[in-house]
């Protein structure tokens, strides 16, 4: 009888505890969102980063300044540890402002906005003038042969699908032109490459980004042409297939340079060798300020630590903010972070990279198995007041490599609204002014809340 | 037996028709979104409207230009009818740029950004200099009496709650200060009124908006003070309660003017006297371009008609786009539209006003009864690909008056993301550059899709 009584009381207490625990979770998450929405620290630091270290592609002095700035920022935060993790990176210099011109017998010479693709070779001082062969799809490319292409410029002009609701899928469908276009064109003997700028809008700003050469295939110079100018060039080619295009770039690759991932952590009270990583990438294309891609993501990661400190939340596991170096070019920061973690026998539980812009968060993603996703569902009501859903997915270029060493690692992700991202991405338009503080901070709070729940209650 | 056979075939045919009909709906909605996302007409027209008719508060030449522009736009669209509906409006002139100064013994004279509240009286040429009484809530106001207020400036400084996730609810909680502050202060003998600018951010741009005087209560001049300056003033008052504030405004009310609602319609094939109204308001505060509030909403309404025409959708009921005049001041356009509809024995089925900014649409709202909401639910899968949910709600300042004459009217609404709205609202920051074409056009497509479904299938 006594035993039964004990069991009865056990359940009564459990029933009292369960709703209380839900309320405690709700309360902490409410505090996190309130603190994030009323504070300007992360936003002001993003302003400094974007306005003072614009151009911080890996291997540049601007990137070095960004490393030092974020290191000092975290040093002042009373964290348990802040350090630099060495990463060797490639370097490249854009050189003089690029020139692009349509040379038409009908219409004369028309200047058009172009930008060298990242790590492209330059044209040499005199530039290149050649006829143009337009290609609007992979299929059209297959119809070309060496006779029709040799000595010419291949103009890859497949638009990002403007009717796609997911702009990331529109980007995914068109990015092959920028990464592989120069190699595909060079294999047919092309002298150079014009790529339709990867913008979801018709605009006058060319978007840059990495291009990849291949060993054994000649390197040819490549530029992105703004979408509006690409439309014009395409129209003009229909009536005047013999027109020529001139472009001049003086960009060139430099030596490998020393750089760093910047890491700060709050040590776990219960499991200091078990890690939850929150990251962004510190490098950004040299043509813009890198506010949405990805200064904002970096500041969100640091903000998660600030929120924990400010609200007095002691994590059970060690929480790290990592500013990864070299996401845009060779992803060496992410690889070094994973390799070092393994080397030091760290145990990594979860990792999230915010690298889709800092727009209003629509969802948090977790790459869990069936059981974990079922557990995750129980947290959905906690995020409902903030209109954030919990979905399957997650990951990021720089946290992906961890998975190789930690197969059980949970990849997580912040999914912001993506309608505005690909008007800015990799271009001069990616500026601080495009960041709305509330949107950015809703994202910081969303990440902090997910980390808090996972750290305290697991999945 | 023959009868049973007939019934059996009836059901077989029904089963064949139902899925086909769903597919047809999906297809039309897909066409609507594709056309909206790939077209620039509405966006380009919004650019013209905002850049050429900025300052178009009712009763101004700018408002008259906006009437003429949108009338001509619709005239060129091959609609069945386009006309101007006369509305008499109040007029007001802001006068010379406003001046605001904190006059401190400790810190000297500090200029602060102020803007006259709409339809406020001016201070006279010499301005007002007086001591300041700060009030941070309705409760604090109740503690004041004539002795403590007479001859002073009442400074209403209750912030919009920055931690509110719905910025509209934050606005709703604070707007009493702007609309009623001057009357409440004047009843206690105040000489003037300072209102903390209704911005959700700490910034330097004062936001204007209508204020209301009351018969029998003296009219006192009122300005909005930017949120950052309000914080400063509040801090300074703590250490120096005797500081004074100077402001000068030369605004004044003018005569009543003739103006218009601008209306275009596509006549219904089956029920030409039954109407579905889509609207925005054409007037906008004189300090900005009125891009988000509400030029964008107007252009979305016209775009709905363009989408119907372009895609060859023949509506069963008459679809109207209405640019309402005078939403911001006395709502006479909406009242006139409703009264005229009743007068002409029109039958109005549904009405939607887009007036929450043209950000990414999160939901469509319908004010249906239980049965109608249950029917609405069946359309939810049609909007899922666009991440737009269907919720209960809807309405708008200018379509609300219809409900008085048509109790069965369905009010509908477009609910865009609201995180950015109250940094722009009623201020110089409400400019064309804040509009993202895709976000605006997702909204146009959402409205057009709801109108299409309601028109063809009812609720």
Residue B56: phi, psi to the nearest 5? -80, 50
Q: Is the pLDDT confidence value at B234 over 80?
A: yes
A400, burial (CB in 10 Å: exposed 0-12, middle 13-18, buried 19+): middle
- Asked if the model's pLDDT at residue B7 lies above 70, the reply is no
**What is the arithmetic mean of pLDDT over A387-407?**
96
- Chain A interface disruption, residue of B163, B164, B389, B444, most A CBs within 10 A: B163
Following DSSP, what letter does each residue of A384-428 receive, concatenated? GGGT-EEEE----TTTTTHHHH-TTPEEEEEEE--TTHHHHTTST
For chains A and B, CB pairs below 8 A equal 56
B335: tokens are 């009242």
Our CA-based measurement puts residue A38 at a distance from the nearest CA of chain B, in whole angstroms, of: 6
A60 contacts A94 by C-beta, under 8 angstroms? no
Confirm if A132 and A153 have CB atoms less than 8 A apart: yes
Q: How confident is the model at residue B11 (pLDDT cuts 50, 70, 90)?
A: low
Residues of A within 8 A of B165 (CB-CB) are 33, 385-387, 442
Question: Residue B443 in contact with residue B358, Cβ under 8 Å?
Answer: yes
User: What pLDDT score does A1 carry?
Assistant: 47
Query: Are the beta carbons of B306 and B35 closer than 8 angstroms?
Result: no
Instruction: Give the position of tokens 């018709």.
Output: A202
pLDDT digits (tens, 9 = 90+) for A134-153: 999 999 999 999 999 999 99
**Smallest CA–CA distance from A429 into chain B, residue:** B433
Region B240-256: mean pLDDT is 98
Sequence-separated (6 or more) residues with CB below 8 Å from residue B383: B29, B364, B389, B390, B446, B449
Q: Out of B163, B360, B423, whose CB is closest to A417?
A: B360
Say what the pLDDT of residue B321 is.
98
pLDDT of residue A23: 85
pLDDT digits (tens, 9 = 90+) for B271-303: 999 999 999 999 999 999 999 999 999 999 999
Pairing assessment for the beta strands B192-196 and B153-156 based on DSSP bridges: parallel
Share of chain A above pLDDT 70, in %: 95
Using DSSP bridges, classify how beta strands B410-416 and B361-366 pair: parallel, antiparallel or unpaired.
antiparallel
Q: How many degrees, rounded to 5, is the angle at CA B434 between CA B431 and CA B437? A: 115
Instruction: Assess whether pLDDT exceeds 50 at residue A115.
Output: yes
The predicted model gives B125-151 an average pLDDT of: 96
How many angstroms separate the CA atoms of A359 and B419, rounded?
10
**In the prediction, which pLDDT does A22 show?**
62
Residues of B in contact with A423 (CB under 8 A): 436
Contact B37 A162 (CB under 8 A): yes
Contacts of B419 in chain A (CB under 8 A): 360, 436, 438-439, 442
Residue B38 C-alpha, separation from nearest chain A C-alpha, in angstroms:
6
Collapsing DSSP states into helix, strand and coil, what is residue B322? strand
A93-109 confidence digits (pLDDT tens): 999 999 999 999 999 99
Kindly state the percentage of chain B with pLDDT values over 70. 95
Is there a contact between B33 and A165 if contact means CB atoms under 8 Å apart?
yes
Fold annotation for A29-92+255-457:
Aminopeptidase (3.40.630)
SS3 A313: coil
pTM value surpassing 0.90: yes
CA of A419 to nearest chain B CA: how many angstroms apart? 7
Residue A323, beta-bridge partner list? A262, A280
CA distance A201 to chain B (A): 8
Tens-place pLDDT, residues A303-314: 999 999 999 999
CA distance A305 to A353: 14
Q: Is the pLDDT of residue A393 over 80?
A: yes
Residue A179 above 70 pLDDT?
yes
Q: How far is B394 from chain A (nearest CA, A)?
A: 19
Please state whether the peptide bond connecting residue B294 to the residue before it is cis, i.e. omega within 30 degrees of 0. Answer: yes
Residue ranges of chain B assigned to CATH 3.50.30.30 = 97-251
Which residues make up the CATH 3.40.630.10 domain(s) of chain A?
Answer: 29-92+255-457
Domain B32-90+255-457 has CATH 3.40.50.11540: no
**Residue B23 has what pLDDT?**
85
- Sequence-distant (≥ 6) Cβ neighbours of residue B293 within 8 angstroms: B284, B285, B355, B357, B421, B424, B425, B426, B430
- CA triple B323-B328-B329, angle to 5 deg: 115
- Among A11-15, B23-27, B268-272, B286-290, the minimum mean pLDDT is found in A11-15
Q: Residue B437 is nearest to which of A40, A201, A436, comparing CB atoms?
A: A201
Dihedral of CA atoms A268, A272, A273, A278 in degrees, nearest 10, equals 20
Range(s) for CATH 3.40.630.10 in chain B? Answer: 32-90+255-457
* A294 cis-preceded (ω within 30 degrees of 0): yes
Asked if A97 contacts A248 with a C-beta cutoff of 8 angstroms, the reply is: no
CATH 3.50.30.30 domain residues, chain A: 95-250
Which chain A residues are within 8 Å of B385, Cβ to Cβ? 165
pLDDT of residue A19: 55
Would the pLDDT of B261 be above 80? yes
Matching CATH number, A95-250, of 3.80.10.10, 3.30.300.30, 1.20.120.1750, 3.50.30.30:
3.50.30.30
Contact A438 B417 (CB under 8 A): no
Residues of B in contact with A420 (CB under 8 A): 436, 438-439
The pLDDT-based confidence of B81 (bands split at 50, 70, 90) is very high
Distance from CA of B34 to the nearest CA of A (A): 5
What ipTM does this complex have?
Answer: 0.92
CATH number for the domain running over B97-251: 3.50.30.30
Residues of A in contact with B417 (CB under 8 A): 360, 417
> Please, what's the largest Cα pairwise distance for chain A?
102
Alpha carbons A103 and A199: distance in angstroms, whole number: 24
Tokens 């929405």 found at: A37
Digit-coded pLDDT (tens) for B314-329: 999 999 999 999 999 9
Are A44 and A309 in contact by the 8 Å Cβ rule? The answer is: no
Average pLDDT of every residue of chain A: 96
- Mutating which of B40, B199, B419 best tests the A interface, going by the most A Cβ atoms within 10 A? B419
Angle between helices B437-457 and B296-310 (to 10 degrees): 60
A436/B420 touch (CB, cutoff 8 Å), yes or no: yes
């Amino acid at each position: 009888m006594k035993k039964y009584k004990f069991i009865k009381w056990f359940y009564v207490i459990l029933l009292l505890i369960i709703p209380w625990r839900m309320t405690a979770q709700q309360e902490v998450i409410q505090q996190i969102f309130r603190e994030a929405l009323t504070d300007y620290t992360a936003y002001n630091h993003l302003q400094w980063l974007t306005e003072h270290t614009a151009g911080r592609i890996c291997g540049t002095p601007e990137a070095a300044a960004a490393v030092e700035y974020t290191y000092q920022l975290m040093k002042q935060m009373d964290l348990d540890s802040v350090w630099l993790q060495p990463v060797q990176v490639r370097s490249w210099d854009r050189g003089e402002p690029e020139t692009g011109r349509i040379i038409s017998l009908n219409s004369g010479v028309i200047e058009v906005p172009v930008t060298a693709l990242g790590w492209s070779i330059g044209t040499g001082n005199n530039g290149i003038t050649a006829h143009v062969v337009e290609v609007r799809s992979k299929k059209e490319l297959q119809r070309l042969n060496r006779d029709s292409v040799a000595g010419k410029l291949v103009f890859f002009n497949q638009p990002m699908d403007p009717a796609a609701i997911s702009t990331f899928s529109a980007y995914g469908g068109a990015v092959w032109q920028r990464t592989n276009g120069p190699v595909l064109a060079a294999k047919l003997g092309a002298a150079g490459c014009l790529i339709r700028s990867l913008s979801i809008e018709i605009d006058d700003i060319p978007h840059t980004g990495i291009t990849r050469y291949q060993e054994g295939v000649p390197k040819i110079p490549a530029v992105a042409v703004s979408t509006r100018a690409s439309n014009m060039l395409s129209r003009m080619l229909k009536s005047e297939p013999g027109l020529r295009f001139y472009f001049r770039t003086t960009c060139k690759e430099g030596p490998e340079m020393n750089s760093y991932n910047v890491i700060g952590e709050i040590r776990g009270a219960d499991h200091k060798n078990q890690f939850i990583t929150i990251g962004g990438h510190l490098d950004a294309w040299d043509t813009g300020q890198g506010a949405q891609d990805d200064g904002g993501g970096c500041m969100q990661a640091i903000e998660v630590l600030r929120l924990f400190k400010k609200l007095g939340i002691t994590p059970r596991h060690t929480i790290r903010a990592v500013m990864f170096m070299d996401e845009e070019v060779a992803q060496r920061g992410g690889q070094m972070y994973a390799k070092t973690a393994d080397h030091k026998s760290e145990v990594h539980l979860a990792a999230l990279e915010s690298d889709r812009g800092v727009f209003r968060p629509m969802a948090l993603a977790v790459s869990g198995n069936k059981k974990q996703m079922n557990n995750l569902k129980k947290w959905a009501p906690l995020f409902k007041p903030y209109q954030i859903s919990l979905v399957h997915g997650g990951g990021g270029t720089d946290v992906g490599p961890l998975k190789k060493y930690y197969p059980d690692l949970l990849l997580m992700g912040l999914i912001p609204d993506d309608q505005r991202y690909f008007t800015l991405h990799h271009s001069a338009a990616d500026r601080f002014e495009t960041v709305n503080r509330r949107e950015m901070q809703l994202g910081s709070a969303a990440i902090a809340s997910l980390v808090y729940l996972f750290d305290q209650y697991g999945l």
